[in-house]
Amino acid sequence: MGNICSLCHSGETSLYYEGESREYFLCSACHVVFVPETFFHSDLIEKEMYDKHQNSIDDVVYQKYLKRLMDPVMDRIGSGAKGLDFGCGPGPALSLLFEKCGFEMDIYDVFYAPNSEVFQNKYDFITASEVVEHFHDPKMELDRLFNLLNVGGVLAIKTQMLPSVDDFPQWYYKRDTTHVCLFSQKSFEFLAVRWGAKLEFVDTDIIIFTKLLR
């Protein structure tokens, strides 16, 4: 018995790896690898790390990077759809790209756009690009996001999925110490079952849930 899983709150967890001055636990119920709370950064330190990110809406390479998530979303929504870019960061580039295509957008970021009014709304699509791996409480955050969707709405996530056990010690993604919740394909399958949602793996790092009528 290890720490309580941050995604499903199961106690069926075990030590998976020790490195980078912290521990990683594997949940046998939802197959997520998580870092215990004792290794979390303070909000101040975490924001200082995010402040170092240099992404510009005018950067053509960055636009191409964002469109890998944007394009499959646009394939699944209609004109007039309203969206939320969750975890937009200091420069809400993805929401601006959607707005240029005629979509109404809201943004939220706990550090840069802490507008809690968005949680009173409903959305046709929600994007979370390189966000979910930072969640300290992924169960609460992901359930909240999914509940904000209208029926037929999509939740589009971009995150790197867990490599094999043998490759994990060298995996670059875990070296970012703000990454505290690392998902496998089975983790997203677990969520789809819990939500009764349609699940699509659009690419190795792009996952789309569609909210179905229940």
Tell me: the pLDDT tens digits for 163-209? 999 999 999 999 999 999 999 999 999 999 999 999 999 999 999 99
The full set of domains in the chain, from first to last, is 13-210 (3.40.50.150)
Positions in the chain whose pLDDT score sits under 70:
1-2
Q: Which residues contact 31 (CB under 8 A, 6 or more apart)?
A: 184, 186, 187, 190
**Predicted pLDDT of residue 2:** 59
Element (DSSP H or E) covering residue 146: helix 138-147
Specify the pLDDT at position 44: 96
pLDDT of 59: 82
Cα 149 to chain centroid, rounded:
15
Mean pLDDT of all residues in the chain? 96
Pairing of strands 149-158, 123-129: parallel
Look up the pTM and report it: 0.96
**pLDDT in the model for residue 45:** 96
